[in-house]
Structure 1
Amino acid sequence: MFIADNLKFIHERIAAAALKAGRDPASVLLVAVSKTRDASAVDDAARSGQRLFGENYVQELVTKAAQVSESVAWHFIGGLQSNKVRQIAGLVEMIHSVDRLSLAREIDRQWGRLGKTCNVLIQVNIACEASKCGANSADVLGLVRNVAALPHLRIKGLMTMPPFFDDPEGARPYFRELKRLSELVAAERILKVEMTELSMGMSGDFEVAIAEGATLVRVGSAIFGERERQRSPVQRT
């Protein structure tokens, strides 16, 4: 029952943060980050009303998706190698981590083979941390233009992962900057580009992210408990 209780509590916090910011709580979606969790945990969360799940590792996602019995939707939120795109083609509703044109081209190719279109977010490394993926802020507009030209991709917004801070307020400038970048891109009115989604905020800082405009918050440990194992953030999968 703790997953159901945690989900209820997180949704209450999301709603409160949205209302405090003068926003409709329905404008913020919870992405339950299920990496390293068993399929049974995903099923438990789904039976408690959670539909959207985020995964970081290709093989884990493929295996887990085959084991989950409930009807759920998957987002891919981790660093992605071009040579593994084929394995998740058609399986995920959105990829949050498009950070280079070569990756976008492979996503376009694989979804094109299925006759489908993939919704993507452009990942921005606002803090320019070497350990994290993402395009530099200065390169975002050019990358958006190039990705938008691919026929089987639709850009829905931006994603970022700020540095870790003990105080969630430390992440606020990074969330604010992502919002600014999204407004800059939106003002260009590029065909096939919508800046309707901002994927930012995790278990420790999602309320601050909501205050700054997040529409997708990625929460794992606050739902499922602390992980028993960790992987390096620099690993692409």
Structure 2
Amino acid sequence: MSIEENYLDILKQIPKDVTLLAVSKTRSVEEILEAYNAGAREFGENKVQELSEKFDELPKDIKWHLIGHLQRNKVKYLVDKVHLIHSLDSIKLLEEIEKQFSAKNKIANVLIQINIGKEATKTGVYIENLRDLINACEQCTSVKVRGLMATIPIGTEESCRQYFNEMKKVYEKLSTETFKNIAMEVLSIGMTGDYKIAIEEGSTLIRLGEGIFGKRNYNK
């Protein structure tokens, strides 16, 4: 199927209140435009440089999401470009986002990334350290937390469901509390291989790359 057909097919399968984020990392401007012409307006990039380049080349009504690990020295390039940062994972990164966005009198909308599987190869805050990061977020004036994000360990349907369920419980618990600068509006869990399970477990935003654009060609 074409990119347009893939996008529209997935859109028909998911609830209206779930956001479909087209993960466009490594994809060409032409491929992104095909998804855009099918109606996609929210795109996710892993790298700041790639997001910045595409921002300049593509329609201005696109909402760009930074879904990959964010290095502190790259934060300044996201001001005025990024709609949502999915990967807030430390107090040091929070401080840099606050510094760079407040310098330009802008608000950074972010998700706290949780390393729910405690994988050494992945970034994200551990559940037991989440409160420290939340406390720091409450002290900010230019950072607004909009929810949570996680990338779960590869495993069986049962293990996927368990991790997604754990994320939903954390999200729901935080939803019952009142914080400054923090609201639980987005639960970003689920990718091409497991998005249906994620939605069943409460995801409000799914991140799909190959499901929309097809297999990546890393030899390009």
After TM superposition, the score normalised by the length of structure 1 is 0.88
Distance of aligned partners of 1:221 and 1:149 in 2 relative to their CA distance in 1, 3 Å threshold: same
Query: Alpha-carbon deviation of 1:60?
Result: 1.0
Query: Alpha-carbon deviation of 1:66?
Result: 1.3
Partner of 1:181: 170
Instruction: Please tell me the residue identity of whatever aligns with 1:226.
Output: K
Name the CA distance, whole Å, in 2 between partners of 1:34 and 1:12.
Answer: 20
Query: Alpha-carbon deviation of 1:26?
Result: 2.3
Query: Alpha-carbon deviation of 1:40?
Result: 1.4
CA deviations 1:203-227 (Å, max 9, x no partner) are 0001111111111100000100111
Unaligned stretches of 5+ residues in structure 2: none
Aligned partners of 1:56 and 1:77 also within 8 Å:
yes
CA deviations 1:108-153 (Å, max 9, x no partner) are 1111122111111000001000011100011112211211211001
Name the CA distance, whole Å, in 2 between partners of 1:189 and 1:71.
Answer: 32
Q: How does 1:47-126 map to 2 (within 5 A)?
A: 47-69=37-59, 71-126=61-116
Q: How does 1:134-153 map to 2 (within 5 A)?
A: 134-153=124-143
CA deviations 1:17-59 (Å, max 9, x no partner) are xxxxxxxx22200110000001111111111100000000111
Aligned partners of 1:121 and 1:156 also within 8 Å:
yes
Aligned partners of 1:203 and 1:220 also within 8 Å:
yes
Aligned partners of 1:156 and 1:197 also within 8 Å:
yes
Out of 16, 30, 33, the position equivalent to 1:26 is 16
Question: 120-129 or 107-116, which moves further after superposition?
Answer: 107-116
Aligned partners of 1:141 and 1:185 also within 8 Å:
no
Aligned partners of 1:124 and 1:158 also within 8 Å:
yes
Out of 125, 128, 153, the position equivalent to 2:118 is 128
CA deviations 1:151-205 (Å, max 9, x no partner) are 001111100000113x444311111111111122223311221112100000000
Aligned-residue CA RMSD (Å): 1.5
Instruction: Please tell me the residue identity of whatever aligns with 1:151.
Output: T
Aligned partners of 1:168 and 1:204 also within 8 Å:
no
Partner of 1:19: none
Instruction: Please tell me the residue identity of whatever aligns with 1:36.
Output: T
Query: Alpha-carbon deviation of 1:70?
Result: 6.3
Name the CA distance, whole Å, in 2 between partners of 1:158 and 1:2.
Answer: 31
Question: 2-11 or 139-148, which moves further after superposition?
Answer: 139-148
After TM superposition, the score normalised by the length of structure 2 is 0.95
Aligned partners of 2:137 and 2:181 also within 8 Å:
no
Query: Alpha-carbon deviation of 1:229?
Result: 2.0
User: Which portions of structure 1, spanning 4 or more consecutive aligned residues, are displaced by more than 6 angstroms?
Assistant: none
Aligned partners of 1:46 and 1:71 also within 8 Å:
no
Partner of 1:235: none
Partner of 2:7: 7
Q: Are 2:196 and 1:207 aligned?
A: yes
Out of 147, 160, 165, the position equivalent to 1:171 is 160
Instruction: Please tell me the residue identity of whatever aligns with 1:4.
Output: E
Name the CA distance, whole Å, in 1 between partners of 2:28 and 2:58.
Answer: 9
- SS of 1:201's equivalent in the other structure is strand
Name the CA distance, whole Å, in 2 between partners of 1:153 and 1:70.
Answer: 23
Name the CA distance, whole Å, in 2 between partners of 1:154 and 1:226.
Answer: 35
Name the CA distance, whole Å, in 1 between partners of 2:175 and 2:116.
Answer: 18
Instruction: Please tell me the residue identity of whatever aligns with 1:5.
Output: E
